[in-house]
Amino acid sequence: MSKAQSGYVALLSVLIIGAVALAIASALLVNGADSQREVLTYQQSVQARALATACTEEALQQMHDNTAFTGTNNLTLGQGNCTYTVTNTGGTARTIASSGTVSPVVRKIFVNATAGATAITITSWQDVPTLSTPATIAFVQVNSATPQTNQSSVATTYTSAQTAGNTNIVAFGWEDTTSTITSVTDTMGNSYQVAAPRFTGNGFSQAIYYAKNIASAPAGTNIVTVNFSAAAPFVDARILEYSGIDQASPFDATTAASGSGTTASTSNVTTAAPSELIFSAGMTITSYTGAGTNFTSRKITSPNGDIVQDRFVSSAGAYNATAPLSSSGNWLMQIATFKAAGQ
């Protein structure tokens, strides 16, 4: 392979990437939101592999020109970059490790070869698709509404601007076990799904909903409305926004518990992904005084004294939630967990 041929391979890779991007852009115009994300990921994977291939070709060219060559180099092609490393594993044996990145997708190629005096012989070639480090989940904002008379509908406003692609997580509690939630909507048209279904205990009811991949909204314009089957007493609505949560399939697991005492405590929930948000909401007849161990309190409502708290974890495992009360009393607490993007 000559240097001119190597340059042609790199140019061809860029042209392939451009052609794929054009085809995918056309597909994006006719697919729904979820399909668009799947197609975009496919596009990024194809681009990343083309970059990894270009770097592998460049490494082979270096070995052809200099059979003693070892080391690491980088290339930037189109909207991505690639890296290759050639390692001498003994005699004429060489390994090539190449990676192409089109964030957040990384494609890797591992090659075993021999560097002969007149030819380079490839003995194995392995492609490995991967994702980059998971996104960092972050709390964005919180607000609450606590009407003190029976209500069949309660509205709560996101006071700050909302960012497209983020996740809304909302908890609704009320003090009876007969009323049910009939709908959760907002003014931006985001679609809400159940994370933690209605759980009842000690005269309380509570449920957690979420909206993934939300639309952007100016400050003070997005209003979340929960509707009940009958006027519910002492409704406690807590609405939160988070960034960095998976936009396609964020919800993972849930658990709930109720009891009496000076500390609320749920059973364990087992997370499936390494990086997750542990979201917890609790109600009580007394008042919560702060977050539980390893949790951060985002809101203790007034005058109800109910809590919403969270925790960010970096390894899959079993987790529970606790929170202290101002005095011994009945309580109810739920957990819902959400996966970070890029896993």
Q: Are residues 187 and 112 in the same domain?
A: no
Q: Are residues 144 and 259 in the same domain?
A: yes
Q: Are residues 152 and 39 in the same domain?
A: no
Say if residues 51 and 102 touch (Cβ distance below 8 Å): yes
CA dist 11 and 201 (Å) reads: 66
The alpha carbon dihedral of 176, 177, 178, 179 has a sign of positive
CA dist 28 and 43 (Å) reads: 11
Domain count, the chain: 2
What's residue 5's pLDDT?
Answer: 45
What's residue 342's pLDDT?
Answer: 74
Digit-by-digit pLDDT tens for the chain (343 residues) are 443 444 444 444 444 445 445 444 444 444 454 556 567 677 888 888 899 999 999 999 999 999 999 998 988 877 678 899 998 888 999 999 998 887 667 788 999 999 988 899 999 998 876 655 678 999 999 999 999 999 999 999 999 999 999 999 999 999 999 999 999 999 999 999 999 999 999 999 999 999 999 999 999 999 999 999 999 999 999 999 999 999 988 999 999 999 999 999 999 999 988 899 999 999 999 999 999 999 999 999 999 999 999 999 998 899 999 999 999 999 999 999 999 987 7
Q: Are residues 212 and 106 in the same domain?
A: no
What's residue 99's pLDDT?
Answer: 86
What three-state secondary structure class fits 291? coil
Its domain, for residue 227, covers: 138-339
The last residue of one of the domains, among 112, 131, 150, is 131
List C-alpha distances in Å: 77 to 13, 73, 102, 127, 152: 8, 13, 10, 19, 58
CA dist 36 and 29 (Å) reads: 8
Phi-psi region of 266 (alpha: psi -120 to 50; beta: other; left: phi over 0): beta
| Cβ atoms < 10 Å from Cβ of 234 | 19
CA dist 124 and 48 (Å) reads: 20
Helices (H), 29-166: 33-65
Q: Are residues 315 and 275 in the same domain?
A: yes
What pTM did the predictor assign? 0.66
CA dist 105 and 129 (Å) reads: 8
What's residue 130's pLDDT?
Answer: 63
| Nearest CA among 233, 185, 177 for reference residue 206 | 177
Q: Are residues 116 and 41 in the same domain?
A: yes
Q: Are residues 209 and 110 in the same domain?
A: no
φ, ψ for residue 79, nearest 5 deg = -100, 15
The last residue of one of the domains, among 131, 152, 180, is 131
Q: Are residues 39 and 148 in the same domain?
A: no
CA dist 165 and 245 (Å) reads: 9
Strand 251-265 and strand 93-102: the pairing is: unpaired
What's residue 102's pLDDT?
Answer: 79
Say if residues 147 and 155 touch (Cβ distance below 8 Å): no
Residue 236 β-bridge partners: 173
What three-state secondary structure class fits 64? helix
CA dist 44 and 101 (Å) reads: 8
Q: Are residues 35 and 169 in the same domain?
A: no
Structure tokens at 341: 């993007």
**For residue 189, what is the enclosing H or E element?**
none
| Nearest CA among 230, 59, 76, 242 for reference residue 167 | 242
Vertex 86 angle, CA 81 and 91, to 5°: 170
Q: Are residues 113 and 152 in the same domain?
A: no
